[in-house]
Amino acid sequence: MKRLIVNADDFGMAASINTGILEAHRSGIVTSTTLMANGAAFVDAVTLAKSAPELGVGVHLNLTQGQPISSPDSVVSLVDKNNKMFRQPAILWGEIALGRLDLSEVERELSLQIEFVRDTGIAITHLDGHKHIHMLPAIHKIVLRLASKYGIPAVRTAVEYPLELAPLLRQNRQNAPRIFMQYIQSRTLARLAVGSSARLKQAGVQTPAFFFGITQTGFLKAEELSMILKSIPEGTSELMCHPGQSDPTLERGLTRLREERQSELDALTSPEIIQLISQLGIQLCSYRGLGAA
């Protein structure tokens, strides 16, 4: 059986993203989302999540932007002079290697993010990371420890299932460099994931067998989505997506995806896509159903 979790990242980042995710759930194929505890529209996201009981909600762990949930003076290695988290994943990786990032502070902040979501009454289905920071090996170990501590049954493994790259490049010639860089990112994450399966098993934490969506980030239109759906293997897969409603006020500093979010929303709610899923015999599910796979 082919089972597919369609997870919308960045829930809580902005109101227009929140409403887009709910539309993609109610009128489209999104089954799951991950909530940013320090997002500017967190309260709005919680309200919307409680109005959609079939939508699985996980935590989108964040160490790269915004103010921490922790008191800044308790996570000094994570914040800049403005008390904001600022490092991109590659910099985080380097700082860990150089011993400049206090992993106890990382654990404190991620713990509080989980607790912040849990305390709203949301039953957390899984954990993943904003910009895939949870895949950095030292942080991955912390995330698995926290999943066990808080009784969270699953963690995303962002190792992208290989698809032919040429069709995506042909459809988006002007953006070929960006797409190729995202492909390189996906291969880097696959290398970082060496040993993750053993750690997941040891922690008793589940993960979907297959993952899609890194290379297509920002370019997940109906044609690309169709190609992914036709490539879904037997077993349980996750498709990462970033829908949102059109919002010209959304700041580039907050997210590089703006118009692209509306394009993804259009694809995820397309009647042709919904029909294709039925034709292919794909069963949509959330992380709640992972143990039944």
SS3 45: helix
Nearest to 215 by CA among 171, 281, 156, 269: 171
Handedness of CA 71, 75, 81, 87 (dihedral sign): negative
In this prediction, residue 213 carries a pLDDT of 97
In this prediction, residue 172 carries a pLDDT of 87
Per-residue pLDDT reduced to its tens digit, 93-124: 999 999 999 999 999 999 999 999 999 999 99
For the residues 37-46, what does the mean pLDDT come to?
97
Per-residue pLDDT reduced to its tens digit, 181-222: 999 999 999 999 999 999 999 999 999 999 999 999 999 999
Instruction: Please give the domain boundaries of the chain with CATH numbers for all domains.
Output: 2-292 (3.20.20.370)
3-state secondary structure 211-259: EECCCCCCCCCHHHHHHHHHHCCCEEEEEEECCCCCCCCCCCCCCCCCH
Per-residue pLDDT reduced to its tens digit, 7-33: 999 999 999 999 999 999 999 999 999
Q: What Cα–Cα distance (Å) separates residue 224 from each residue in 33, 152, 175, 245, 278?
A: 21, 32, 14, 20, 17
Q: How sure is the predictor about 253, in pLDDT bands with cuts at 50, 70 and 90?
A: low
Per-residue pLDDT reduced to its tens digit, 128-185: 999 999 999 999 999 999 999 999 999 999 999 999 898 888 888 888 999 999 999 9
Q: How sure is the predictor about 3, in pLDDT bands with cuts at 50, 70 and 90?
A: very high
Give the pTM: 0.95
User: What is the Cα–Cα distance from 149 to 137, expressed in whole angstroms?
Assistant: 18
Q: What Cα–Cα distance (Å) separates residue 125 from each residue in 33, 159, 210, 254, 275?
A: 9, 19, 18, 26, 27
Nearest to 241 by CA among 266, 270, 261, 271: 261
User: What is the Cα–Cα distance from 212 to 186, expressed in whole angstroms?
Assistant: 10
